[in-house]
Structure 1
Amino acid sequence: MAAGPYNYSYIFKYIIIGDMGVGKSCLLHQFTEKKFMADCPHTIGVEFGTRIIEVCGQKIKLQIWDTAGQERFRAVTRSYYRGAAGALMVYDITRRSTYNHLSSWLTDARNLTNPNTVIFLIGNKSDLDGQRDVTYEEARQFAEENGLMFVEASAKTGENVEEAFLETAKKIYQNIQDGSLDLNAAESGVQHKPSAPRTLNNDQQPTKESCAC
């Protein structure tokens, strides 16, 4: 097996959820391709993207499922929630209706993922601050009240896009290290793929890394 694209220790499954038109596909494209898609078509069902990142010295492959926001696809997209280690929940800071629907999206995420799924709230289109319809403060309060990580980002400029995906991965990795995420559970959303076998002497015990990053 070639060392290049297969040289990673873990696979994390992500889902991206939120109303139609909030920029979910554009965020995914910005993260995986580092480009902005100006004419981003609405997703039908689900789209898929991958990227290998590094967290605390470990290479991690992110498998990211971008779900359609239209109600008629909800039955299809709900099946992708299961086994997600991370969920990026997106609203548009210029459209209050997309913010008002977050409680519904969060209910789905809580009910259909495992209790340790890391949910990250993203207020997209921060580059359109002049058209803002949702304040940073109220979104941050919503995130705090619901135990979510939160950032405002722009799929157009790339601002905070990388941070949202990476911070989610760091939290998942932290949950693995402290034992709160069971890798043997099918719904954990994490697969462990040792990049190189290591042998231990009888008197050696594997040590857990503590991640301070």
Structure 2
Amino acid sequence: MVKLSAKCLVAGDSTVGKSTLIQLFRSDGSHFPKNYSMTTVMDIITKTLPIPDTGDSVWDQPGALCLVFDVTSETSFSNCARWLQRVKSKTTSLYLPGVLVGNKTDLTGRRVVEKIQAEEWAASHGLEYFETSAKELENFDQPFRALAKSFYRLYQERVESFNSLL
């Protein structure tokens, strides 16, 4: 069984739900932080994820990006471009697996960023799009699982490329 290691950078504006998504993912949805203080620094977590149909696992080295915005905040969505540019300017990798996450979908009456708008923006930047509601425990793990699969595919491509040189 292969065990890969890839850190995931979770970026986005304050109060979009980054820390809550991380905590839910870490605890498999068993811990929703009711009272917490807003974070200003990155929280690094480690969690091993099995890759379906492979018998292999992946997680924890720079290699994946999770951009998070609040679907009730046009500003947090618009700022994803700035966050993406900031991350890309700091990486030396040609390909950085990434996802865009629209959080707080439970606030349907306050939604200002439509799903199709976010899907199109994500696709135009090579990102996969997910919608979540950390509060309702909906899809909180899907973006991280997708990143693990992407990182694993990248790993397999590199191994195949290396083996073709032999």
TM-score > 0.5 by shorter chain? yes
Match of 2:55 in 1: 57
Match of 1:44 in 2: 40
Q: Which has the higher helix share?
A: 2
Match of 1:142 in 2: 121
SS of residue matched to 1:36? coil
Cα distance in 1 for residues equivalent to 2:64 and 2:129: 13
Cα distance in 2 for residues equivalent to 1:20 and 1:169: 25
Letter in 2 for 1:49: I
Is the 8 Å Cα contact of residues 10 and 42 (structure 2) preserved in structure 1? no
Question: RMSD over aligned Cα, in angstroms?
Answer: 2.3
Match of 1:30 in 2: 24
Aligned length: 159
Cα distance in 2 for residues equivalent to 1:180 and 1:125: 38
Cα distance in 2 for residues equivalent to 1:110 and 1:88: 13
Cα distance in 1 for residues equivalent to 2:137 and 2:70: 15
Q: Could you tell me which runs of 5 or more consecutive residues in structure 1 were left unpaired when the two chains were aligned.
A: 1-6, 64-82, 184-205, 207-213
Identity of aligned residues (%): 27
Structure 1 residue ranges (4+ consecutive) displaced by more than 4 angstroms after TM superposition: 180-183
Q: Could you tell me which runs of 5 or more consecutive residues in structure 2 were left unpaired when the two chains were aligned.
A: none
Task: Compare CA radii of gyration and give the structure with the larger one.
Answer: 1
The counterpart of 2:139, out of the listed 160, 172, 183, is 160
Is the 8 Å Cα contact of residues 175 and 181 (structure 1) preserved in structure 2? no
Residues 126 and 181 (structure 1 numbering): CA distance in 2 closer, same or farther, change over 3 Å? Answer: farther
The counterpart of 1:14, out of the listed 8, 13, 35, is 8
SS of residue matched to 1:50? coil
Cα distance in 2 for residues equivalent to 1:125 and 1:182: 41
Is the 8 Å Cα contact of residues 85 and 117 (structure 1) preserved in structure 2? yes
Q: CA deviation at 1:44?
A: 3.0
Match of 2:70 in 1: 92
